[in-house]
Each structure stands twice: as structure tokens, then as C-alpha cells.
Structure 1
């Protein structure tokens, strides 16, 4: 049975005064919607309607002054999903109002037939959000203010690419917790490459120079994806790899025999077999091994490829010791299927794909490319190791065991209900390690790991300003362990711990593990609802206890099981149902206790029948305790009916009845709490006009 950990930074909690407004914020991980796929389902269902039912829908459309063609929109389970992006708010509200009135005129029997038909056709199209039949969530969305929300590309803090960079859990939670756009590290690194500053980076150049002077091998790892915006770029970016190889071979003049690369296969944020297969027009996507072979050939360095392995082993973030130990054994030459060249490598990977278990790139076991003398590649004492993957949560285990951070790994494992032996971590390799990003402060402070590009905390994070804005009132963060960093480090604006003076309660429920048959992320289909029930129970307890001003939670299942599409389609529907049921229960309890609630998502995923994140919008639903369900559009405060994730924090503060002063001295525990907002005014200060696209604004105003 899952346990929980509870940590309050300021001692015993107290009941809140009844006049203080309270709220719940639920982040459903990886739950977006696809306008294109939804439109395809609607068109298909329209063609299957009985003639009499179709005529009734057309009559209902005419009854609200709409054309027969418009009647198709009455098939959308969630009204707002029929809108085009960036619809002006007056037009959007009129459209939604017409849909509500027209649907109401149909009668229960016809509405049930329409919904059942849409669910059936959605199942044929494998469109999980509608095929799952979560009418309880659809009703909740329609009865309250629901707004399409941008969650990818420039709106997630990335470079302006075409196609846009997919949203992901890391940046999504950072944006949700920020009152302005939270720029992401890949953008900074790319700018440094463009200006040439990358090639003068002190940390990278120092570790390379030291290795060259003592004749040591330079080892590095890279997640093999991220060529374009639609091909991963969640943990790694191909232009970073290109620049690094130029730095190693051209500027520092390393011989390829002194460079060893661990290529980590993706298949989660890219297509499931994209390491060896190409996709898209002109085969412009995927084929990452082919791209790597060509890139290494530029430096006559094909032999620098030393290790190949799936990310489930080499990038575990839930601190499973077995995965970490096998990754270490691979890098030190004790484990790995030996092969001699790229052709043999492709054959081995293809064999993994064709097996009866339905394995993907991320499941590929350890493969070692033999050295010219026939030996297994291995890291040696005093070598250099450089990690080129910029996202911190999936690099901590690897850097921890390479740096000898045994106590850190044991503590992180214990926090997730996992016991580590860890004796193997006392390996004495004394590696010179550099990360392209900052993975955890302890690595630099206690283990000598250098950092190429520092990860600064976001000054506009609303939890960093909690003592200033709210004072001593408590807030609660709830997640299962596989998403603990998201509803923690990332949500706090890249802070490992709460700021001084913040009264935080943190509840972490261990995710399913070895005893449940889950030894890697690809096994979560065995428990597709994951810990949604336990997360819900924790939120309901926090609501009823009444000590927290704000309760925030993450529901992991849509993302974690969504990454196993298309193979685990039925399980993905189960995951969606589990998330929907959790949200509806939370909303019911919040309403009963007089709390506001916001439902949003960090990025899209499960709505596309692929393993990858998406660039689709997500939905943000605002359930106001002070506005009846009969008037969901009351209080809308934006001129265009399109939200951004960094509008969520200003909206939360507004629902709590707080104003937001100018951002200076963020996180200063000596600051005074914000004053309650005056009635009938914006709940937070006007953070920006539409001309200032990257400053958050409240989505609603106090009524």
C-alpha cells in the first residue's frame, strides 16, 4: 500500500479563518485536446447519424440563429473544443452560449444517442479523450468556464521553431507556477551557440582541457532525439550535440579514440522506433542513428559511439536502484551486448522492436560497441564525463552514481519508498564531471561537478513570493513519486526547497514499483490509473481539514500511460477515466466546502495516438465558488479566448482574493502579506496588455 510523506516548514498547521478564500489547483499531466482529430471524429459521427436525429440537430442550430452546417458543432462533448484558436472572447462566449442553448433543446434521449455515437466513432479513430466516455468530466467542463490554453513552443519558453517545440512536464509546471513566461534553458544554450559564447563556455572548456592535458578519455551522454520541435527536444537538442562535437574535435583537437559516447534511445518523446526509422515528408524526421552516423563521420569519429541503451534504463527518475546499477555496469564495461558497427546495431534494435512484447526504443537493453582491440568500452578512473541532457530530473540518478553521491541517492530513494544498498557507488573512479545544466546543487557543492549553464530560479514564481503575498498561511503540494519533482522543484520555479517563511505541506505517494510489476516507466500500463485514487484521497483530506489556503496536485496517469501509445490504447482510456473521476470528485468536494478550483494541464500527450508529447492546446477550467454553474462565462477578463499556462498563477491569486504587487524582492520572507482585493475589481493587478504577450494576467475577475 502506498504511503505518504508530509513536511511542513513552519510547524503545526492551524485552521484558516472562515473569511479567507481558498482554492484547489489540479494539474492533469499530459491531457490535451486535438482540434484536428476532434474535427475528424465529429465529421465521421455526423455521417453516421440517423436522418431524423440529424434534422433535429439542424433545427436546434436554426433555433439559435445558426446555419445547418454549424449544427455539427453540437456533437462536440466539450463545447469550447469546437472553437478555433485565438477566437475573440465576445464571439467565443456567444458561440458557447448558442451550443449550450441548442443542446438543451434536444432532450435527454437525443443527447445520449449523440454522445454514444461520438464515443463509438472516437474509439474507431482511437481518440482517447472522447473514446473514454468521461461524460462526468465533459459536464464539469461545460458547466464552468473552460478556456483553450497554449502549452508548447514559445508559450512554453522555447525557441520559435516550425513545427513548435512540444510542451513537457518540466516547463509546463514552471509556467503554471509563474506569473510571467518562464524562459527555458534550451533557449539560452541555443542563443549561446548562435553568438559563439557556447564555444567559450568556462566549464566545458575547463573539463576538456584538463582531460586533454592528462590524456584522459572524454565520455559523454546524449538522448538521441531533439532534431526539430516535433522530435523530442524535451531533454536534449540536436544543435547542442553538433556544437559540442565541434568544440571537442575542432577546438580541442581530440582524437576520436579518446572520446566515448553513450547514445540513449528515446521512443517516448519521439516516435517509438525513431532511432532507426524515418518519418514524415521526405523522411525528414526520425532515423536518429543515421543522423548520428553522418554527424560523427564529419569528424571521422564513428568509433566514438561506445554505448547504446533505452532511456528507461539510462534516464530513470524514480530512483530505482536496479536501473541505476545496470546503467553503471554498462558504462564501466561489465554489461552490454557486444556489436561491432552501425549495421549490427540497427539489426539488434530492430530485433527488440519485432519481439512479441511490443518493446520500443526506450526499452532497448544495453548494447556495447566493441573497441578496435575487441574490448568492451568502459569508463576509467580519472576520465571526464559530460552530460548533454538539459532536463534535471532524469539526470540526477546518473550523475549521482558517477559522482559517488551515495547518501543523496539513498535519501531520494527513501523519500519514494525505495531502499538502496548503494555499496557499488563507492567506486572511487574520481571522474571529472560536467553537466550542461544544473541537475542538483549538492553535486557541485559536495562532489565537484561543474555546470556549463546554470539553472536560475524564476523570480516571478508565485510560491517563491508566497510569504510576501499570503503570509503564514499554509499551502499543500500533492503528487506521486514519479512526478514529485514536478509538483515540487519545477512548480516552485526551479527551487529544491520552499523559500524561507513559506508554510508548505508536501505529500508524496510512492508510485508503483517492483512489487507491483513496475520496474520501468514502460510498465505503468499494468496499473493505468496509477495513484489517482491516493492523490484524490489526499486532496479530499486537505480540503476537509481546512488548514491549507491552496491545495495543488498532479495526476500522472494521462502522461505516463499516454507515452505508451499506440500499443496501450485500452490502458490509455482507463488512465483518462481515472483522471476524470479524480477531477470530478475533487471539484465536488471543493464546491461543497466553498473552495474555488482550477483544472489545467502542463502539456498535451494522450490525445494523439503516438508516444510523444504534442503541441496541442490543453484546457483550463475555472470553477468559481462564488458563481453559479448557470453562468460559467461570468467574470471572464481576457479579450481573446486563449489562455497561456503563465496565466494560471495570477488567476489562482485572484481567486484567493489577493493583489499582486510589483515583482521585487521575490521570496523575501520579511515582506508583508498582500491585501485582499477590492470587490468588483480585477483580483490581481493588470499584469500586462495583449501587447505584452509574455506577462500573465488573471483569466477571471471577482464578481
Structure 2
């Protein structure tokens, strides 16, 4: 019997119809599934998934917990704990790179996403790194910060408040050199023309000239742009990168930090023309963005070792299939597999290309859900795999646009896909578990009715679809309980690291 796990990315639970686009959509299949199938609620944020209390969930964290079967202490609280206990300021990688810059007479360039979003970076880590550089003896004019503004995991125009506050917290130990919206600096879908804009500003000082970071934000707002789309801007007096300089990327989440880091670090990089670059640069990342043989940089906080569900199934000789479109492919492979890049034995993968003809997904809210469903229906009907995991990106990616009508369209399209999947699962005698990695689309408006584009702290659903399981009783739990539940459905013991427990009570 095939067990299928469907992850509806960014699909949380919320009873407020004025904020929840799912309640405005005609989701007849979803409502029928809930009426006829056992379901429960799962914690997908904060301590339930190894994040600080009250911290919204995200796709990386969600898929790590789903695949691990235990509460994975995330990089964010792990690094913050190091700051709190003082070990951060003795970190071998970070202190060494500061010593090397002092010895070379170069400058230290710090990169990172700013603001209270907490999904990719936090200001506390940036401030701590500036403090470490100061303690190491680097003067303020040799510590430059390249700020990436958010607008997706924060309100769309909030950088005007928190960016000056962050700059003030540097206490004269560093200054902001460039400002770039995450649209440019943190692309993850091989839109290299965007990455090049951020790269050119950081490396060569080629960008919109501004007198200050605050002016970069104000000018973008005047042009009608929000934080996410601030064009790479260079503060007056910012020098280009030079031999002897070093770079530390302070995002703790890997997926949106890789492209820019590749452009800075790889000698054989060819995704765009770097001119006379690259110059020899000493580069470090706060966490591991990729295996060392693929991205040879220093890493401050190495990865945790996770014995994932995928690894467990592979050892047992069970066949598995992982399916997603480009936007979420890393999540059902690298993250779901516990930070392992290469497929395990007997693991197949299907990558469905995301739509690159549109700038934002409100313009194509169906995304690639149709082709994903085609692959899943065919795989379920063939019955060749013991386990299938798939991700539908629409609720999250369209939710991030803040466009209500597009979110409703996305929800209705996903509903049609769920209808097709349900028919295939029931017809094949398979079982399907439907859940989400975090919330988003269920809170498209804030309390004042303004568009909201960030993730949420909402619980997420867990539903079992299959004739054999229609009468079981499920308990509420967390994402860490999903993998042990899948093991029970597959008729195998839970993996050796799995401290979560099955959601099936009776």
C-alpha cells in the first residue's frame, strides 16, 4: 500500500472569514474531506518546532520537523543561545575571519536580511557579529553592513522603522554600505539577473546612489516599491570589495542565501558575468548553506545530524518518491531529508519547473500544481512506491503577494487538485496524509484589514484519507509527530531518532 504525504505549503487554520482566504474560496473537496476523514491540529511554530516562543513557522523548519520525527532545535535559537552564553564571541570561524581581516588590512563585509521576520535572519545575530568585530579590534570604517530588506515576513513597508533602529544599535562600530530588497539579494529560483543587481552593488558599488540607508528606503517608497523590491542602492562613500576583504553572510537559513554566496565564493561561477572578478575573498556563512565540496566556505555553526524518515525508509529497502515545483523542491528533498543533498538509495525525485514567466505569483496563482498532481495521480495508480511526499507551493507563494483575489484562486485550484488526488488514493487502496508546514494564506489581512504577506503562528491541519482509516481517532500534536505516524501507516517501527509519537490514538 502506498502512503502519500501531501504538504500544503502555508496552509494554516483560522476561523476569521475576514482574514482567511481559504474560507472565501469554494473548496468543496477540502470541506468534504474534513467531513468524511479523521483530522486534528498540529503545532507548526514556536517551541513546537524548535523555534523561540511565538516565532512564526517557515518552510525550512516545517519540512525539517516533518521529516525528522523529533523537535529539531533550529539554527535561530541555537545561535541565539550561543550569544546569550557568550560562546558566540569565541566562535572559531568568526573570530578567525576577523583576525585575518585585521592582518590583511582589509574590510569586513557583513550581509543579512534585516527586521523582525525571524525566518531567514534576526537583527540580534547581526548586532552580535558587529560587536564581535569591534571586540576583535576592527575599527568602524572597516566593518560594512549590506542590508537586505524584507517585506514578506514583515509588513511590506516596515523597513523605514527598523532599519534606522538597527543602524543605531551598531553604536558606531559599523555602518550600512548598501541596501537591497530581498527580491534581488535572496532569489532562489535561478533568476540570476536579480542576484547580479545585488552582487554589483555589494562588490563594485554599482547601484542607485543614496546618501544614507534611510534615503534608500524613502526613495523606494516614493517610487511605489515596498521593502521586498527596493532596488540595490549604494550609500555614498562605500568602497568596492578589494583583496584582503572578507565576507560573512549572516542569514541562518540556507535556501535564499545560496545564489549570492555562489556568486561571491565560486571560482568557476558562470551564471552571470562578474567581469574581472572574483577577487580572492575570505568568505564565511553563519550556517552551512551547502556541502563543502559544492560551496567551499567557512561555516560558523555546522549542521545537526538528522536521521530522517527518508534515511530510515532507505535502510529498510522501501521505495520513495519526492515531488515539488522549483520554489519548494529543496524543502521536500534537502530539508525533508534532514539536510542531506543527495537522494538516498531507492529514492526518486521529480522536479516540476516553476512558472518563470511572471514576476510574482498573484499573476499565475495556479503555479505548477496541475503538473504536480498529474505526476502524483500517475504514481499512486502505478503503486510502485511505498512512500510519496509532495509539496503544493501555492498557499504560501501566493499568500506572500498579499493579493486576496489571487489567494482565493490559488485555494480553489488546490482544492481541485485534492479532489483528483482523493479519487486516485481511494481507487488504488492507498492512504493520504494531508498537512502543512506553517501558516500563511489563512491570514491574508491584519487586524486592521491591511494586506498581510508574512507567515503566521497558526496551527495546521493533519488529515488521513483512505478507506482503511476513516474510523481512526487522531490526537492533536506537532509536526514532529507526522513521521512516526507515517511509520505506523507503513507498518514499520519509528526511526531511531524519532521522539515524536503517532497521532493515531485508536
Tell me what 2:38 maps to.
Answer: 145
Distance of 2:151 and 2:137 partners within structure 1: 33
Q: 2:140 aligned with 1:256, yes or no?
A: yes
Aligned mate of 1:482, from 317, 327, 335: 327
Aligned mate of 2:87, from 194, 197, 206: 197
Name stretches of at least 5 consecutive residues in structure 1 with no aligned partner: 1-20, 38-121, 227-231, 277-286, 411-419, 664-686, 688-694
Report the CA distance between 1:331 and its aligned residue.
Answer: 1.3
Report the CA distance between 1:550 and its aligned residue.
Answer: 1.0
Report the CA distance between 1:341 and its aligned residue.
Answer: 2.5
Q: 2:458 aligned with 1:616, yes or no?
A: yes
Q: Where in structure 2 are the equivalents of 1:438-587 lying within 5 Å? A: 438-441=288-291, 444-445=292-293, 448-459=296-307, 461-468=308-315, 470-471=316-317, 473-499=318-344, 502-513=345-356, 516-518=357-359, 523-565=360-402, 568-587=403-422
Q: Where in structure 2 are the equivalents of 1:316-335 lying within 5 Å? A: 316-333=187-204, 335=206
Q: Where in structure 2 are the equivalents of 1:57-76 lying within 5 Å? A: none
C-alpha spacing 1:446/1:426, structure 2 compared with 1 (3 Å): farther
Q: 2:192 aligned with 1:339, yes or no?
A: no
Q: How many residues align?
A: 499
Q: Are the equivalent residues in 1 in contact too, given 2:211–2:236 (CA < 8 A)?
A: yes
Distance of 2:495 and 2:231 partners within structure 1: 53
C-alpha spacing 1:452/1:662, structure 2 compared with 1 (3 Å): closer
Distance of 1:235 and 1:218 partners within structure 2: 21
Distance of 1:248 and 1:660 partners within structure 2: 45
Tell me what 1:431 maps to.
Answer: 281
Q: 2:427 aligned with 1:592, yes or no?
A: yes
Aligned mate of 2:181, from 310, 316, 333: 310
Distance of 1:378 and 1:25 partners within structure 2: 48
C-alpha spacing 1:181/1:524, structure 2 compared with 1 (3 Å): same
Distance of 1:517 and 1:242 partners within structure 2: 36
Q: SS at 1:505's partner residue?
A: strand
Tell me what 2:110 maps to.
Answer: 220
Distance of 1:425 and 1:506 partners within structure 2: 36
Tell me what 2:25 maps to.
Answer: 132
Q: Are the equivalent residues in 2 in contact too, given 1:179–1:646 (CA < 8 A)?
A: yes
Q: 2:253 aligned with 1:368, yes or no?
A: no
Name stretches of at least 5 consecutive residues in structure 2 with no aligned partner: 446-451
Distance of 2:463 and 2:295 partners within structure 1: 45
Map Cα deviations across residues 511-569 of structure 1 (whole Å, 9 max, x no partner): 111xx233xxxx1111111001011001011112221111110000110010111xx11
Distance of 2:102 and 2:108 partners within structure 1: 9
Aligned mate of 1:402, from 259, 264, 274: 264
Aligned mate of 1:658, from 479, 486, 492: 492
Q: Are the equivalent residues in 2 in contact too, given 1:475–1:503 (CA < 8 A)?
A: yes
Q: SS at 2:274's partner residue?
A: helix
C-alpha spacing 1:319/1:406, structure 2 compared with 1 (3 Å): farther
Distance of 1:488 and 1:425 partners within structure 2: 34
Distance of 2:29 and 2:401 partners within structure 1: 25
Map Cα deviations across residues 456-478 of structure 1 (whole Å, 9 max, x no partner): 2312x11111133x32x311000
Tell me what 1:626 maps to.
Answer: 468
Q: SS at 1:243's partner residue?
A: helix
C-alpha spacing 1:397/1:192, structure 2 compared with 1 (3 Å): same
Report the CA distance between 1:238 and its aligned residue.
Answer: 2.0
Tell me what 1:30 maps to.
Answer: 10
Q: Are the equivalent residues in 2 in contact too, given 1:307–1:377 (CA < 8 A)?
A: no
Tell me what 2:119 maps to.
Answer: 234
Q: SS at 2:78's partner residue?
A: helix
Report the CA distance between 1:368 and its aligned residue.
Answer: 0.7
Q: Are the equivalent residues in 1 in contact too, given 2:9–2:438 (CA < 8 A)?
A: yes
Tell me what 1:207 maps to.
Answer: 97
Distance of 1:660 and 1:246 partners within structure 2: 44
Provide runs of 4+ in structure 1 moved above 6 Å.
Answer: none
Aligned mate of 2:439, from 604, 613, 624: 604
TM-score (norm 1): 0.69
Tell me what 2:448 maps to.
Answer: none
Report the CA distance between 1:405 and its aligned residue.
Answer: 5.1
Tell me what 1:643 maps to.
Answer: 477
Q: SS at 2:138's partner residue?
A: coil
Q: SS at 2:309's partner residue?
A: coil
Distance of 2:419 and 2:147 partners within structure 1: 43
C-alpha spacing 1:597/1:429, structure 2 compared with 1 (3 Å): same
Report the CA distance between 1:504 and its aligned residue.
Answer: 0.8
Q: Are the equivalent residues in 2 in contact too, given 1:654–1:701 (CA < 8 A)?
A: no
Distance of 2:374 and 2:267 partners within structure 1: 35
Aligned Cα RMSD in Å?
Answer: 1.8
Report the CA distance between 1:347 and its aligned residue.
Answer: 2.3
Q: 2:172 aligned with 1:299, yes or no?
A: yes
Tell me what 1:387 maps to.
Answer: 249
C-alpha spacing 1:697/1:306, structure 2 compared with 1 (3 Å): same
TM-score (norm 2): 0.95
Q: Are the equivalent residues in 1 in contact too, given 2:205–2:234 (CA < 8 A)?
A: no
Q: Are the equivalent residues in 1 in contact too, given 2:250–2:285 (CA < 8 A)?
A: yes
Distance of 1:572 and 1:335 partners within structure 2: 37
Structure having the higher Rg: 1
Map Cα deviations across residues 229-260 of structure 1 (whole Å, 9 max, x no partner): xxx111112221121111011x1121111111
Report the CA distance between 1:198 and its aligned residue.
Answer: 0.3
Q: SS at 1:348's partner residue?
A: helix
Q: Are the equivalent residues in 2 in contact too, given 1:479–1:554 (CA < 8 A)?
A: yes
Q: SS at 1:390's partner residue?
A: coil
Tell me what 1:678 maps to.
Answer: none
| Greater RCO, 1 or 2 (C-alpha within 8 Å, sep 6+) | 2
Report the CA distance between 1:325 and its aligned residue.
Answer: 1.7
Tell me what 2:151 maps to.
Answer: 267
C-alpha spacing 1:365/1:491, structure 2 compared with 1 (3 Å): same
